[in-house]
Amino acid sequence: MDFNNLIQNIAIYALPVLFAITIHEAAHGYVARMFGDSTAYMLGRMTLNPIKHIDPIGTIAMPLLLLFTTAAIPGGPFVLGYAKPVPVNFANLRHPKRDMIWVALAGPVSNFIQAVAWTLLLIAMFMLGIDEDFFFRMAQAGILVNLVIAVFNLLPIPPLDGGRVLVGVLPRGPAYQLSRLEPFGFFIVLALLVAGVLGSWWISPLVQLTYSVLIAPLLSLVR
């Protein structure tokens, strides 16, 4: 293993991962407050201070482990992480079933916006003639990390954002049955990840799709 390359990868991915998960969680809190729930605000979690959102496992250990274990895989390292979930009391929302959809979507949407922002930064560096490989790779990492985190969270299994969206969309009976999976959702997602199903059948296809629809047209402007 090339440890110099590994350290460089950590430096390249650290800032994009930190921004991605911090803004993702803060977005949930901001939108929840817009729709009537101030729980995150009162607990000091509606903030862009990354320290408030860092989870030792999901924010630090998991991304580093993935960097270590996938550094030698063709196509570059695979990075996925998560932060401490922002507390939302859905009962405080003005229209709980409907509003939970917007609160849940706020996180992934913030990641798609960040992916576009990193793309614009990449384009700006190219147009300004900035020839610095480290910053180009960081911008590329920012695009990839945000697309991966967005599509991962849209998986329709509670407590992921996609699961909460599906609960909000379904009629009360099916929605209640789906919501009962929430205590087991982490283990279901972990099993799908270990089995390779999550990466092959959900993350990779959707990242490629969103890249071709959202990012590629922007990059084509400077080619």
Both tokens of residue 124? 């700006």
Give the C-alpha separation, 115 to 24, whole Å: 12
| Residue 84: other Cβ atoms inside 10 A | 16
Give the C-alpha separation, 219 to 223, whole Å: 7
Point out the catalytic residue in the list 18, 25, 40, 63: 25
Q: Answer yes or no: are the C-beta atoms of 111 and 146 closer than 8 Å.
A: yes
Q: Is position 25 annotated as part of the catalytic site? A: yes
Both tokens of residue 184? 């087991």
Give the C-alpha separation, 45 to 23, whole Å: 11
Give the C-alpha separation, 152 to 63, whole Å: 14
Q: What is the b/e burial string over 142-167, where b = at least 16 CB atoms within 10 angstroms of the residue's CB? A: bbbbbbbbbbbbbbbbbbbbbbbbbb
> What positions carry a catalytic annotation?
25
